[in-house]
Structure 1
Amino acid sequence: MGKKQKVIKPDDYFEHGPFQITRFGKLVYFQNNITAEQHEELMKKIESSYDKQVSIINSLVSDIRKLIIQCNPLSLLKYAHSRFIQSLIGIESEVQLSKENVHIGRELEYIQSVLAASTPLNSSNELEDQSYVFFEISDKIQQLYSVYENFMYYYTVHHAKNMITSDPDYISFLIEAQAANFHRGDRYAVHEITHIKDLLTPHKDELQKIFNISVAQLLEGLQNIQQSLSQGMLQSMNKLEYLMELFEQKKVDIVDQEDALQIIESDKELKNLRDEFAEDFLGAGLHDLNKLTDWSQIFLENLSWSLGQCNNYFTRNQFPGWPVIEMPIYRKPFIKIDQKYYCFDYYNVFDNIYRVIQKTITDLDHDYKVKWKDIQAKATEDIIINLFKKLLPGCIVFQSNYYPIGTSLKQCAENDLLVLYDNNLIIIEVKSGSYTYTSPMLDIESHIKSLQTLIAKADSQTERTLKYLKSQETVKIYNEQRIEKATIRISDFDEITQMCISLDNFNEFAAKADKLKFLKMKNDTVSIAVDDLRVYSDLFDSPSVFLHFLKQRKLATQSKVALNDELDHYGLYMSHNMYSITADQMDSDHINWYGYREKIDSYFANLINENMKLIKPKQEIPRRIEEIINYLDTSNIRKRTILSTFLLDLSDEARQWFCDAINNTLIRQKETKRMTIASCFGEANYSMCCHQPYLRELEHQYVTDYALAAILQNQESSRLVIHLYFNEKDILYAIDFELLTPADIPSEKIDILSQLADEYAESRIMSYKRQNGLQKIGRNDLCPCGSGKKYKKCHLR
């Protein structure tokens, strides 16, 4: 009779009708037990309520607009920005945001968009208290977003009959694409300015020509905006605190408030501090672009809406004024009020500024459109090359590689990038085109076509390149003029990775592109954005660890892992190492891997503060293994990643066993004055020698025969022979290794090695008995010889 399986209670459980949600730690399981009859009834109920839901949203949109045009626009925008800042207090990771936090974060952009498309009725000054109207606007917008979240399902059911397919995966994508409209923040704050600098610097002459602005001016202004919108309120309070301290130092006898005011007015330093605080905290100084930047008038004018200037947001035929349709703020992130230009919304500036500038310039200078596209492609490739050179120091990169489709160079295909590092080859296709910004409710097909162009096409292109590289023992690649640039031997590479790297960030789909069936991905291509590659370049200090992660990331494309964020892959890697195995062991296919990127978000959120001492989030690696990997990373050992990957593949327990084996061997050899071989059998097959000063070396052939005998006896597919060299202080200073397979066993030595295998096995059994004080070994215990079999089925016989 088998053992009774232990029941593990969930941390959380929720049930609503046929739907169940269960949480175990960071794993969230979704289960749908609905019957066909229940499903049909639910669909009919949803379909019958569609018109009512549209009416509710239209009514809310109308109410909100009527309230907004009653308000002083500047006061309302300041209020909305303060709400946004308050919603982020204590939040370091996106996963910590509640639904209410998300909705509050979207208030500001909707209010600014409504103002851009409406002429305010109110002529009141900024100081008039309209807080009761502001609160009502907030409440209405909260209702609007809440109703819309459910409306996505009503819309999908209502339009299902007109869709090109009833495929559940297609319908699921439609819902996810609509939900993605709520996502903001393409990259971490510490990367914003660098990202824009890398992309716009090649266009410096055109920026100067069209806008009379330099790249340096643009970047300085954006830095000031970033500082003001994220930390301006806090800095204003610090000014007030300093003003009060300074006032205490300078004050004399004060009879009343009038005396205090006179002291401030008569003291230039106090007066300036008072005025700065009043302008920033009570006025709009934190948002005034003329104060924050020295940008030209023409630049500000082209990137700003005047009040009521956008004349089509509320007049469109479908869903007029809805916040999920392209809002005016997407096209122009700034707003002009009383002849002054202001910036309030952080995310819409930094998420969209590059594409906004691109569209504005190419609209004003049509002849530059093609040139912009070409420069953009080259700039994106250059960014990726620099990031890989940081991740893999010393790597070789080939850019813009041409190769014949047939036997002639007259017809060639192009590959964007080849990255060579040790025995690793990375084939990269770069996609610098823009992802569609059309609402999926208006044109879901444009979203599918974008993904097909930016991901699926790259998948087939990398496969075509790989096929060419495998077509002969050695192949040549050429430059655009068909001049040979390199010869590549595919057999030099044990690990080949195909990648698609996009300029635009559509993270929620790229992270699981292989699971989107309509893309028909045929290969294990890893799809990520430049933003995520930039994050990885900061997270990984070791090329060996990065390549090991990249291997796990590739394996995840073939497993049940389906994530909504690229950095969840890294979070899973930190927690579970070979995480695709963890996923495939799960019973359910519908798992939400919740909160795995939280440590990463927290680290980068605090990185903007240079005074904080932060610990980089990474996988825990024991000291001895880290010592080996650090040595390998700085060495020129051929195929060194074979050893690093082998060690990093080990489980936590096996890693610790490996480190203990090193430490115990070093101690024991000092005591016995004799060199020994430490071996492991089973899933991780290795034989390890720890070389120390003043010890007699084991002959190289003896160690090799020892390993080959183990391969022969245990029918192993391979065994790693590792030589570690330590100085008198047990510090590692050199490494050598060899991967042996059955093919390395000479036929004439099989009998000798079989005899040695028996002798070594008996020796291990005797040693095991001696070390454990045993007279005999239990029948059902594992045989100490290393075969992996029970003793009764091995050497007991």
Structure 2
Amino acid sequence: MDDKKRKEVAASLLKDMEATATRMRELIVAMPPHDLLGYIYAQHMMKAMVDQSAEEEQREAVGSNDLINENQFLLEYVHAVLASDDAPADVTFDEAQCADLFELSCKLREQAMFFAVITSADTKDGVFGPDTADIEFRAKSNWVILRGNRYQVLEGEFYSYVLAPHNDVLKEVYGVGAAEIAEGFQAMADATRSGHSDAIMEMSKQFEAAQAFAAAQDIPLEDVMEAWIAANAEQSKAAGRAMDDMFRGGIANVSRHTTLPPALLADLAYQRGEETEFFAAGDFAGTPYRTLPARKKPLIQLGADYYAIDPCFTRDAGYRALLYNLLQRKPDYKKTFEDRQKRMSEAAFADILAAQLPGATVFQEIYYKDPASKQWSENDTLILVDDVLFLVEAKAGAAATIASPALDFGRHAQSVQDLVLKAYKQCERFFNYLNSADEVLLYHLEDGKYEECGRVRRSDYRVMVPIGLTVESFSPFSTYCKELPQVEPLLGRHAFISLSIDELFVLKRLLPTPGEFAHYMEVRQAVAGMRRAHLFDEFDHLGAYLKKNRFDQDIAKQLQDGKVSMLIWDGMSDIVDKSFEGEDWEARPFPAQHFPKEVLKLLDALDATRVQGWLSAESHIRDLGEEGRKNLAKMLTDLRQTLNQHPARYFVLGGDGEPLFVWLQQHGQQIDWKKVNEKASAASLAVKASNVVGVVAEIGSDGTYRRAQSFAVHIPTERTQENASIYEDAARMVHPTRAVNLKQPENVSFLRKTRKPGRNDLCPCGSGAKFKRCHGR
């Protein structure tokens, strides 16, 4: 299709969209809002029930999830019309017109998607280089169909955290603090999530009570209803509220289902006819490519009550509207507000992920003299844990833009670019500083003076992850920004990652240990450095990791054949999504990668001991595929069971990556580190490895792993008189007929006690630390 024809088709689609939207507006405004809401929500509930009961093949055939999304799309249009039009004097509910409305909603959604295809296809180049056309299409299509990309059960946790810095002012302005507001937002989410089932249970309960009342008097139920209602006023009111929830949109009534004060709800709500922009004359009038009113204020006032018509914009729109109105009501709070937001966002990564970062050294607001500019530069948060470094640049403002990508894709992309590129540049400057010397100095700014607060050596860190952190998610741009020409891996190898605070609450649950989290971030960073490979959001990355482990390697293989211009993995988040479904979601175990029990015991011991280098050892073990994990489990089990005859055993596990040398020791027996190091060196020579990961585990008589730690394996590069015995040992390992087969490890003789190192001597384990700070503790 040539450019002229494409423009003609786009103009025709735009005209059709505007006509469809106008007809939808006419139908919506002519019906009583409560009845219309009740009908739409009832359809939503029935489709959800079909989705739950159908087999997987049926779900795909029916497309029930898509139908539910269409209902949500329609709810946003109901919100838009109620916000834009005064209530007519006469309204009538008409089920046939409701059916028309559903068809029109589907039609408008399809028209909008076709428009996204047509108007993006002719984009030859742009801010995202040759991939700009594809990313523009995704920005437009996601603007139309992205609904509810949050886990509703975590609403309260998110609000509680991000509002906590403003607790005193919230109480002053609204009479309630962060905890109460967070509870209210969670109650909003719960009402739409489980409101229908709660109403059904309440109706069933009251029906059974009425039946019992009738049976006690031996009178038919229909003849005693008036008497039962008179005698059970509260129960009958509860039944009435349940009926309203089920059939008149009552589950969206936040005045009923929350205890949030009217003043706060009013700040989040449109009154009828208050919105003047959405249907105003001009291009895209009333179409999904205007900014839906729900993106600005999520509630509508109907009579004396406030309603959350569409539950899916409540999180982000509610958060932005609340903070905006807080400052409108208290403008002198602006400077303090900004300072508090900054501190909250800068502390969030280390705070929320405290369990994943045990014993971490955390520097906040660090300064240094930039070698290039000779000026003082600042970074937000530096986190050092074992041999992993996280540099977090936090942006306290809202990530999501409400500027439509169809009206101005450049502006839409620029607002997100600004967030990413500013954080990226700050990270880049610090990484260049780290690379400028063997050891660099860090400073805090105290009373106008720069005071040294720490020193960092780049060589100490196996993994370094630069992160841009926003309060809210801004998928899909957060994962697509690696396509920006300006965004390259720092120092040629450390790719930049965009994350949000609300995503951290999910990561901390599904990656509960330091080893799991650090390994995920390694794999995640590898994918962040791959251009032309895309997953929609952080939860797709997380799902891919849980399902496939080193999914970065799978992606690399698919890209290597040269036949793929862009690779997209879709739907990987389903394993994560299902974790937050159902009333019992907190009681169920979260999905995790499978490890044999024996390997988990070793990982748990490494995590419990946490000697320097433990994350490196965990990473190596977690890199193993299914077969490697099984092999490791078998070797551990077989040799552990022989420790009652032998004080120590060892083996080498090879594979595609670096070999793993494991030394198993009876707990209570002193470790002969000279022997350990020599055997590890010999094994390294035997398997011709350039690097080997070493692990020593101490095991009790009951089979419990009491301690485990990694150690540095020295691999000789030249035979000398001093290391001749190591080379001879390696030769024996290579030839099983002459000595030991690595698959059938040598029985190590009883180890005689050796002189204990002095407290200030280097630890014989090879860590490079003094004995008192390593194994002498």
Alignment TM-score, normalising by the size of structure 1? 0.83
**Equivalent residue number for residue 475 of structure 2:** 507
User: Partner of 1:719 in structure 2?
Assistant: 692
Match of 1:8?
Answer: none
Structure 1 residues 316 and 371: alpha-carbon distance in aligned structure 2, compared to 1, 3 A threshold: farther
The code of the aligned residue for 1:583 comes to I
Within a 5 Å distance, the mapping from 1:352-751 to structure 2 comes to 352-406=317-371, 411-435=375-399, 436-481=401-446, 482-517=450-485, 523-559=494-530, 561-586=533-558, 587=561, 588-589=563-564, 590-606=566-582, 609-610=583-584, 613-668=587-642, 670=644, 675-681=648-654, 683-692=657-666, 700-742=673-715, 747-751=720-724
- Does the 8 Å contact 1:77/1:112 carry over to 2? no
- Does the alignment pair 1:183 with 2:141? no
Give 1:525's aligned amino acid. Answer: F
Counterpart for residue 789 of structure 1 = none
Contact 1:401–1:414 (CA under 8 A) maintained in structure 2:
yes
Shift of the 726–206 alpha-carbon distance from structure 1 to 2, 3 Å rule, reads: closer
| 1:1-56 deviation line (CA, Å, top 9, x unaligned) | xxxxxxxxxxxxxxxxxxxxxxxxxxxxxxxxxxxxxxxx4655433322221221
Question: What CA distance in whole angstroms lies between the structure 1 residues aligned with 2:470 and 2:296?
Answer: 21
Cα distance change on mapping 1:165 and 1:270 into 2, 3 Å: closer
1:242 CA drift (Å): 0.7
Amino acid at match of 2:73: R
2:19 corresponds to 1:59: yes
**1:758: which partner in 2?**
731
Q: C-alpha offsets along residues 543-600 of structure 1, whole Å, 9 cap, x if unaligned?
A: 1121111111111123364211212222222222222111111245343323322111
Distance 1:262 1:549, change over 3 A: same
Distance 1:405 1:730, change over 3 A: same
Shift of 1:63: 1.2
Aligned AA (1:235): D
User: What is the Cα deviation at residue 331 of structure 1?
Assistant: 1.6
**Bigger relative contact order (CA 8 A; separation at least 6):** 1
Contact 1:717-1:741 within 8 A present in 2 as well: no
* 1:143 lines up with 2:107 in the alignment: yes
- Return closer, same or farther for 1:90/1:478 CA change in 2, 3 Å cut-off: farther
Alpha-carbon distance in structure 1 between the residues aligned to 2:218 and 2:128: 82
Distance (whole Å) between structure 1 residues aligned to residue 200 and residue 584 of structure 2:
20
Q: Aligned pair in 2 of structure 1 residues 605, 90: CA closer, same or farther (>3 Å)?
A: farther
Any idea what SS the aligned residue of 2:313 has? Answer: helix
**Equivalent-residue separation in structure 2 for 1:88 and 1:210 (angstroms):** 39
The CA distance in 1 between the partners of 2:247 and 2:391, in whole Å, is: 55
Shift of the 618–637 alpha-carbon distance from structure 1 to 2, 3 Å rule, reads same
Q: In structure 1, what is the Cα distance between the partners aligned to 2:316 and 2:354?
A: 26
Distance in structure 1 (CA, Å) of the matches to 2:397 and 2:76: 25
Partner of 1:232: 195
Q: Does 1:76 align with 2:36?
A: yes
Q: Is the 8 A contact 2:268 2:318 kept in 1?
A: no
Could you tell me how far apart the structure 2 residues matched to 1:320 and 1:567 are?
Answer: 34
Give the C-alpha shift of residue 117 in structure 1.
Answer: 0.9
Distance 2:743 2:584 in 1: 58
Shift of 1:294: 4.2
Give me the whole-angstrom Cα distance separating, in 2, the residues matched to 1:650 and 1:724.
19
- Residues 297-356 of structure 1, C-alpha deviation per residue, up to 9 Å, x if partnerless? 433333222222212221142211112311122222111223433222211222311111
Larger mean Cα displacement after TM superposition, 106-115 or 484-493: 484-493
Match of 1:9 in 2: none
Q: CA deviation at 1:619?
A: 0.8
Aligned to 1:49: 9
| Residues 147-156 or 265-274, more deviating | 265-274
**Native 8 Å contact 2:128 2:484 kept in 1:** no
Equivalents in 1 of 2:34, 2:420: separation in Å? 43
> How many residues are paired up?
721
Distance in 1 (CA, whole Å) between partners of 2:9 and 2:683 is: 71
Q: Does the C-alpha gap of structure 1 residues 346 and 761 become closer, same or farther in structure 2, counting only changes over 3 Å?
A: same
**Alpha carbons 2:299, 2:308 under 8 Å: kept:** yes
Unaligned ranges ≥5, structure 1: 1-40, 772-797
Using a 3 Å threshold, how does the CA distance of structure 1 residues 284 and 49 change in structure 2: closer, same or farther?
closer
Cα displacement string for residues 447-501 of structure 1 (whole angstroms, at most 9, x for unaligned residues): 3222322112222211211222333333222223222222323333222221111
Q: Which residue is 2:747 aligned to?
A: none
CA distance in 1, matches of 2:743, 2:403: 74
CA distance in 1, matches of 2:478, 2:373: 36
Give the Cα–Cα distance (whole angstroms) in 2 for the partners of residues 479 and 675 of structure 1.
49
**Separation in 1, partners of 2:387, 2:369:** 25
* TM-score normalised by structure 2 residue count: 0.85
CA distance in 2, matches of 1:578, 1:295: 46
Quickly say closer, same or farther: Cα 1:240–1:99, change in 2 above 3 A. Answer: closer
Whether the aligned pair in 2 keeps the contact of 1:515 and 1:562 (CA below 8 Å) is: no
- Aligned-pair distance for 1:521? 6.3
2:82 maps to: 115
Which whole-Å deviations, capped at 9, do the CAs of 1:593-615 have from their partners, x for residues lacking one?
A: 23322111101223xx2487412
Contact 1:304 1:334 survives alignment (8 Å): yes
CA contact (8 A) 1:247 1:270 kept: no
Classify 1:636/1:62 alpha carbon distance in 2 versus 1 (closer, same or farther; 3 Å). closer
Cα distance between partner residues in 1 of 2:3 and 2:23: 30
Gaps of 5+ in 2: 745-777
1:633-687 CA deviation, whole Å, 9 max, x = no partner?
122412222221221122221221122112222345656x585432334544233
For 2:299 and 2:311, the matched residues in 1 are separated by 10
1:264 aligns with 229
Contact 1:708 1:753 in 2 (8 A): yes
In 2: Cα distance, 1:452 partner to 1:613 partner: 40
| Amino acid paired to 1:718 | N
Amino acid at match of 1:487: R
Identity rate, percent: 21
| 1:321 aligned to which of 286, 292, 296 | 286
Cα pair distance change 1:266/1:151, threshold 3 Å? same
What is the DSSP-based 3-state SS (H/G/I as helix, E as strand, rest coil) of the residue aligned with 1:562? strand
1:192 to 121, 144, 155: 155
CA pair 102-217 structure 1, distance change in 2 beyond 3 A: same
The secondary structure found in structure 2 opposite 1:420 is strand
- Structure 1 residues 769 and 195: alpha-carbon distance in aligned structure 2, compared to 1, 3 A threshold: closer
Contact 1:330 1:352 (8 Å CA) reproduced: yes
Q: Structure 1 residues 84, 368: closer, same or farther in 2, change over 3 A?
A: farther
Q: Is the 8 A contact 2:355 2:513 kept in 1?
A: no
